[in-house]
């Protein structure tokens, strides 16, 4: 995936969205850029399974969605949208905790809450961009 001048991939810009269509969400679940959704969905491995799972979850009221209805009372699946936070919660309930919807934090991977050896006690001691204790002391200075 090509990076922009800002060091971001085309997928990174999708993190700005707080709601997605079912097809966009399905493509992001399988790691594809939904920019050309109509072209990509037919050629992407896993898309149909992800889309079907999303539709079944929405239909079974396990995933909240905004579902427009036409004049005849039929769902308009092409216009259904899902909030990213609701999608993240649903994905976690299905055992997913990696991929587009779960970006890895900066720093060592053991500081990620999804790491098997994660310790809440370590979190305050390492923060990217924060000077270490060693670099904050002047030469010869001793802290009590």
pLDDT digits (tens, 9 = 90+) for 13-26: 999 999 999 999 99
Q: Where are the domains of the chain?
A: 10-93, 107-144
Residue with the bigger pLDDT between 75 and 3: it is 75
Query: pLDDT tens digit string along 68-105?
Result: 988 998 878 889 999 999 999 999 999 998 899 988 76
Burial of 58 (0-12, 13-18, 19+ CB in 10 A): buried
pTM listed for this prediction: 0.68
Whole-number Cα distances in Å, 116 to 97, 99, 109, 111, 120: 12, 17, 10, 10, 12
* Cβ contact 63:90 at 8 Å: yes
Other beta carbons within 10 angstroms of residue 89's beta carbon come to 12
Other beta carbons within 10 angstroms of residue 111's beta carbon come to 19
């Amino acid at each position: 995936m090509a990076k922009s001048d800002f060091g971001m991939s085309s997928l990174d810009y999708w993190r700005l969205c707080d709601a997605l269509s079912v097809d966009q969400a399905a493509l992001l679940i399988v790691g594809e850029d939904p920019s050309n959704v109509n072209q990509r969905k037919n050629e992407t491995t896993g898309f149909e399974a992800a889309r079907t799972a999303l539709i079944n979850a929405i239909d079974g009221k396990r995933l909240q969605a905004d579902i427009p209805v036409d004049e005849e009372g039929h769902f308009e699946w092409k216009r259904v949208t899902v909030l990213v936070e609701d999608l993240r919660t649903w994905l976690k309930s299905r055992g997913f905790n990696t991929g587009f919807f779960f970006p890895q934090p900066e720093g060592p991977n053991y500081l990620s809450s999804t790491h098997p050896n994660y310790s809440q006690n370590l979190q305050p001691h390492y923060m990217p961009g924060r000077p270490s204790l060693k670099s904050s002391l002047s030469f010869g200075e001793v802290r009590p």
